[in-house]
Amino acid sequence: MANYPHPIIAREGWPFLAAATLAAVVATIFLGWWSLPFWLAALFVLQFFRDPAREVPAGEGIVLSPADGRIVQVGDSRDEYLKRDCVKISVFMNVFNVHSNRSPVDGTVENVWYFPGLFVNADLDKASTDNERNAVHLRTAEGHDVTSVQVAGLIARRILCYAGKGDRLARGQRYGFIRFGSRVDVYLPPGSRPRVAIGDRVSATTTVLAELPRA
């Protein structure tokens, strides 16, 4: 899977931005200054679909944030995808965060699972199991298994995942997108050491979430 170039505005947003801009232009022609709400809507679409390039931190055994947002869960949990105990870290994205999702580790995609579901507030813990979601199982060269799960939110209606079984992902590589408010859950092997706490603001790729266990 080729790394996605960074055109500043995510390709997923091009149709929405074009439609919003066209509507604003037409409104300006017919409504003049009353078209301001249409331009504000176009500006919102522009900021929502921004997709800036990010610097990838160096270091062995580190897990990077797969999304921009706020940490809403850190601690021991259960990885229902790999049927194991784990350390779980969850990142909640609001509509003002970048919604491009990045690989948390260097690894090979062992499996991808999609589950239809509900669209409850992604800030709630039950969203991890009740909402529509897409899980990617990554295995590092050291043999560590990491599960990165895109979870739809209250108004999210489309999870996009471009990774498939057998793909090789690099840390920070773009592999998906979620349209409008959502979360990403990361399930790590037992013994992983979190480097974030609940309430912390994180940035995709540039923030280190945790350190994997050392052999």
Q: Where are the domains of the chain?
A: 8-51, 62-211
User: CB neighbours (10 Å) of residue 149?
Assistant: 25
Closest Cα to residue 169, out of 195, 183, 148, 196?
148
Q: Single out the residue of 143, 131, 136 nearest to residue 189, CA to CA.
A: 143
| Cβ-contact 214, 203 below 8 angstroms | no
User: What is the secondary structure of the chain as a DSSP string?
Assistant: -PPPP--EE-GGGHHHHHHHHHHHHHHHHHHGGGGHHHHHHHHHHHHHTEE---PPPP-TTEEE-SSSEEEEEEEEEEETTTTEEEEEEEEEE-TTS--EEE-SSSEEEEEEEEE--B---TTSTTHHHHB-EEEEEEE-TTS-EEEEEEEE-SS---EEE---TT-EE-TT-EEEEESSSEEEEEEE-TT-EE---TT-EE-TTTSEEEEPPP-
Asked about 128 being catalytic, the answer comes back as no
Low-confidence ranges of the chain (pLDDT < 50): 1-2
Residue 20: the pLDDT is: 96
What pLDDT score was predicted for residue 2?
46
**Active-site residue among 65, 77, 128, 182?**
182
Pick the CATH number of 62-211 from 2.70.70.10, 3.60.20.40, 2.60.40.10, 3.40.50.10610: 2.70.70.10
137 close to 109: Cβ distance less than 8 angstroms = yes
Give the per-residue pLDDT at 197. Answer: 97
By C-alpha distance, which of 60, 48, 97, 67 is closest to 207?
67
Where does residue 75 fall: left (phi above 0), alpha (psi -120 to 50 degrees), or beta otherwise? Answer: left
Q: What does the block give as tokens for 62?
A: 């580190």
